[in-house]
A and B are shown apart, each in its own frame.
Chain A
Amino acid sequence: MEQGDNPMTIKETEKQRTLTILIIKGPYVSESADIALKTALRAHRKGYIVNVFLYLDGVWLSHLTSDKTFNNPGDWLKRVLRKGITVNMCERCANARDLHNQGIIENIRIPGSYELINLLSNSDKVLTFGG
């Protein structure tokens, strides 16, 4: 970096880099989902392209549609979606858990597993939360 640059400024080339965040554990059993979604929001704010993929029990996050008086990972997920971050959910995982378009948070895409492979292949970095 050159003298005088703001160390917090992301270079233009860095801004185009892609981060994919995989969530494989459901809400409340651990803090994984919360950490994953907060990381997604921060990366987006820093200018990175961010994808979130709900996989295995991570698909349960989509089921948190109602408001709560306590910490709600569903709210974090809705915030992620409002920011325009793409959220995908594994179709097979969702079907296995009887999660359908009706009864889940809106605007979550439900592609097949091939989309996960696609995201992993095309991302600069991948973080998996919930292992």
Chain B
Amino acid sequence: MTSIKEKKDLGIILTKSPHESSLTNQMLTLATAIIKQKKSVDLFLISDGVWLAKKNPSAKYTNSLSLLQKKGMRIIVSNDHLLAAGLTSTELLPHITITEKPYDSLVDHVMTEWNRVITL
């Protein structure tokens, strides 16, 4: 079976929850700027970063995330950390990729798919 890994210009690894710091806003600003430059970006949520994937209609970042997804940003979330946070897939934003092997997935993305990577 052929398998083509989609290359992305930038991977962003987010380890912090939305309200823990200003990093979420910085991440959204960065991702938006990247996409405006016609480049591609993925967002990998791990540890407390998985909280960003939770549906929260009243949060400003929810709209921003949906817009970024429509423009091609893929959101990948660690299942281990979803379980630790007590989050189920029904509570998450649509079109999220949940990875059952977060560390395998992270290494693959970093080493073979992302041209550059930043950890926040």
Contact = CB atoms under 8 A, between A and B. Distances in A.
Interface of A: 1-5, 7, 14, 17, 19, 30-32, 35, 38-39, 41-43, 46, 48, 124-125, 127-129, 131
A31 B15 contact: yes
Interface string B83-104: 0000000000000000000011
Contacts of B33: none
B13 A14 contact: no
B56 interface: no
Interface in B14-49: 15, 46-48
A127 B3 contact: no
A31 B13 CA distance: 14
Contact of B104 (A5, A42, A128, A131): A42
Interface residues of B, number: 21
A48 B106 CA distance: 13
Interface of B: 1-5, 13, 15, 46-48, 103-104, 106-108, 110-112, 117, 119-120
B2 A1 contact: yes
Contacts of B117: 125, 127
Interface centre among B103, B111, B117 (most CB of A within 10 A): B111
28 contacts: A1-B2, A1-B3, A1-B5, A3-B2, A7-B3, A14-B111, A19-B110, A19-B111, A31-B15, A31-B48, A32-B15, A32-B47, A35-B15, A35-B46, A39-B106, A39-B107, A41-B103, A42-B103, A42-B104, A42-B106, A42-B107, A48-B107, A48-B111, A124-B111, A125-B110, A125-B111, A127-B13, A131-B120
